[in-house]
Chains A and B, each alone.
Chain A
Amino acid sequence: MRLVILDDYDLASEWAAKYIRNRIIQFRPSADKYFTLGLPTGSTPLGCYRKLIEYHKSGDLSFKYVKTFNMDEYVGLPRDHPESYHSYMWNNFFKHIDIEPQNTHILDGNAADLQAECETFEQIITAAGGIELFVGGIGPDGHIAFNEPGSSLVSRTRVKTLAKDTIVANARFFGNDLSKVPTMTLTVGVGTVMDAREVMILITGAHKAFALYKAIEEGVNHMWTVSAFQQHPRTIFVCDEDATLELRVKTVKYFKGLMHVHNQLVDPMHSMKHYKD
């Protein structure tokens, strides 16, 4: 794995956004070859989305030939509820960029047949040629998407019941009223994300430090599902100082020492303005 450590949240968000930008631009997406991007929700990626929007508004990055696949969505929450992941993606990303509506894919938590909805989602990913880069976050309990502790590490997109930890963590979005937080979600499986050609996990804040430690310094364990990516050929963890607080000094020093190598991935920054067609 690559462990990219930046000083603070803003710098980590910016590094991640630059990486995504360069990956898309260097891929040279077109009508025949879409860039398939997996996307997360939550507070961690907000800074990254803001930077990507900036790059779009400055004319350097277009999402016209990008297809997006979100990781999860609540079951039974009305699609236009302000806390649904559809609302999140619209307000924090889609409405600011030039992505085409039919190229965005978010699981429908109000589908009549949830099982079929999940299977269809997997088929859409396959039909799109698989995911080029899956961006994700990590829960305080070490989960990727809503693959709660105990989820199979080869799981596919399915319905999951949320763990208590997650419900409590999400209560702040529902007026701190636990009874209002949805208890079930549709989520991509660990296996689904493992199928991506590359995975980037964003982890910021001291409250995620223990999960990061469990995910990368301990063994592969279905209780900390992000640990599955130790077995993925191309994973990048992008974090801030606070997220490394539970890691060994040796680990942090080693990866900080590699920053000049990591930075070659984001410097120089490419731009679609310079496409020669």
Chain B
Amino acid sequence: MPSNKSVSDAPITQFVNCRILRDHSLQREDLWVREGKILNPEKLFFDEQGFADHKVDCGNKIIAPGFIDVQINGGYGVDFSQVTSDIKGGVALVARRILEHGVTSFCPTLVTSPPAIYKQVIPEVTLTDGGEEGAGVLGLHLEGPFISLEKRGAHPPQFLCSFEEGGMPDLLKIYGELENVAIVTMAPELANSGQAIRDLVRRGITVSLGHSMADLSKAEEAVQHGATFITHLFNAMLPFHHRDPGIVGLLTSDRLPADRTVYYGMIADGIHTHPAALRIAHRAHPAGLVLVTDAVPAMGLPAGRHTLGQQDIHIEGLHACVAGTTTLSGSIATMDMSVCVFGGCTVEEALEAASLHPAQLLGISHRKGTLDYGTDADFVILDDTLTVRETYIAGHLVWRK
């Protein structure tokens, strides 16, 4: 048929025989892609009298938005918190390998480190779009060093910091710059944290509460200052208590700003959180659940001894602990595994916890995390067991099983 498309002559691909996640449900619809974005076929039909150039038969599989991992410390031997001669190369390696898990965008995470590390690493990890070379970098997640000593978990105590006057000067003194940063995790009970939170939020950086001894009212205050995320709910915070719910209480707090949603990260490896606890959180506040891997450099590597930040880790099976202790230090479950393990809810909810919600958290859901018309064509094709079969970024196939 002759081409008389009025908007663009770029080739159009139509994915047929599939179920796509749209409007919170799996619908029997075709997915149309042009120039790296999801295309509105009705507009194409009536406005441009256009048609597809290629059709891809998906064999009745599921198409979901590409997964977004906002907490990943490394993998395949790469440790984001270590200075190497090729920091960019390390990030790129992980970016390429996580395509296998359906992750199309991620936030490389740095654990508590000395200022020297931040000053060398942060400028090197630039935002990227993602493509055949690997998943896109949305920005760094700085987990620490402004965290609680008691709740440091696997973070090295000698590098923890507190705020002097609070605010940007303290942050820049430690981090050097915040150019490539998307998320900062801190403990709100630290003095002067409020100013730091406000300054970060004003710069467009998401503030997360974690590794903290804060009670609920301190946490609510932090949300009022602008915090919108909780780092790995349940882990590294006071346990839920019925007379003082702690940070966990944010999920059902009635003292939050009306228009604010508080999101919470959960490591769904079946180890960091009991599935029943995961379900309690989910049922209390389903819209806020964000699946994260919190994967350590050992993810993807065989069992044994490896490095995370400034410490040594021991891997056995699906467990990663600080060497010589039973303290968990991140997980080695992958994002697609997490989506599968996260039972007790619908397929749509599991998929959204890995795509839509992280996109909403970072304020980018107008271009990522959904299959809405006009958004970036980053998506995964899954079979009914939610195993990733193909990964696409900007409409291009970047990985196939």
**A contacts, CB < 8 Å to B:** 79-80, 86-87, 90-91, 94-95, 100-102, 104
Q: Is B49 close to A, CB under 8 A?
A: yes
Q: With A and B bound together, what is the CA distance between A87 and B51 in angstroms?
A: 17
Chain B residues with CB below 8 A from A101, complex form: 45-46, 48-51
Pull 26 A–B residue pairs with CB atoms less than 8 Å apart, ordered by A: A79-B46, A80-B40, A80-B42, A80-B43, A90-B41, A90-B42, A90-B45, A90-B46, A91-B42, A94-B45, A95-B30, A95-B41, A95-B42, A95-B45, A100-B1, A100-B49, A100-B51, A101-B45, A101-B46, A101-B48, A101-B49, A101-B50, A101-B51, A102-B4, A102-B49, A104-B45
Using CB atoms, name the residue of chain B closest to A98. B51
Interface residues on B, range: 10 to 19
- Besides A79-B46, A80-B40, A91-B42, 7 more A-B contacts (Cβ < 8 Å) are A80-B43, A90-B41, A90-B45, A90-B46, A94-B45, A100-B51, A101-B45
Question: Chain A's interface: helix, strand, loop or mixed, by majority?
Answer: helix
Task: Pick the residue among B30, B42, B49 that contacts A87 (CB under 8 A).
Answer: B42
Q: What 1/0 mask marks residues of chain B from 46 to 62 whose CB sits below 8 Å from any chain A CB?
A: 10111100000000000
**Min CB–CB distance B312 → chain A (angstroms):** 58
Chain B residues with CB below 8 A from A87, complex form: 42
Using CB atoms, name the residue of chain A closest to B2. A102
Q: With A and B bound together, what is the CA distance between A94 and B195 in angstroms?
A: 57
Chain A residues with CB below 8 A from B45, complex form: 90, 94-95, 101, 104
Using CB atoms, name the residue of chain B closest to A96. B30
Using CB atoms, name the residue of chain A closest to B49. A101
Task: Say whether, besides A100-B1, A100-B51, A101-B51, A86 and B46 are in contact (CB < 8 Å).
Answer: yes
Q: With A and B bound together, what is the CA distance between A80 and B43 in angstroms?
A: 8
**Min CB–CB distance B20 → chain A (angstroms):** 13
**B contacts, CB < 8 Å to A:** 1, 4, 30, 40-43, 45-46, 48-51
**Min CB–CB distance B17 → chain A (angstroms):** 11
Instruction: Give the 5 A-B CB pairs with smallest separation, nearest first.
Output: A101-B49, A90-B42, A101-B45, A102-B49, A86-B46
**Min CB–CB distance B28 → chain A (angstroms):** 10
**Min CB–CB distance B157 → chain A (angstroms):** 58
Q: With A and B bound together, what is the CA distance between A178 and B46 in angstroms?
A: 28
Chain B residues with CB below 8 A from A94, complex form: 45
Q: With A and B bound together, what is the CA distance between A104 and B46 in angstroms?
A: 9
**Min CB–CB distance A91 → chain B (angstroms):** 8
**Min CB–CB distance B135 → chain A (angstroms):** 32
Chain A residues with CB below 8 A from B43, complex form: 80
Q: With A and B bound together, what is the CA distance between A95 and B50 in angstroms?
A: 12
Chain B residues with CB below 8 A from A90, complex form: 41-42, 45-46
Chain A residues with CB below 8 A from B30, complex form: 95
**Min CB–CB distance A53 → chain B (angstroms):** 12
Using CB atoms, name the residue of chain B closest to A100. B1
Using CB atoms, name the residue of chain B closest to A91. B42
Q: With A and B bound together, what is the CA distance between A91 and B42 in angstroms?
A: 8
Q: With A and B bound together, what is the CA distance between A85 and B13 in angstroms?
A: 26
**Min CB–CB distance B109 → chain A (angstroms):** 41
Chain B residues with CB below 8 A from A80, complex form: 40, 42-43
**Min CB–CB distance B34 → chain A (angstroms):** 15
Most buried by A among B4, B43, B46: B46
Chain B residues with CB below 8 A from A102, complex form: 4, 49
Chain B residues with CB below 8 A from A79, complex form: 46
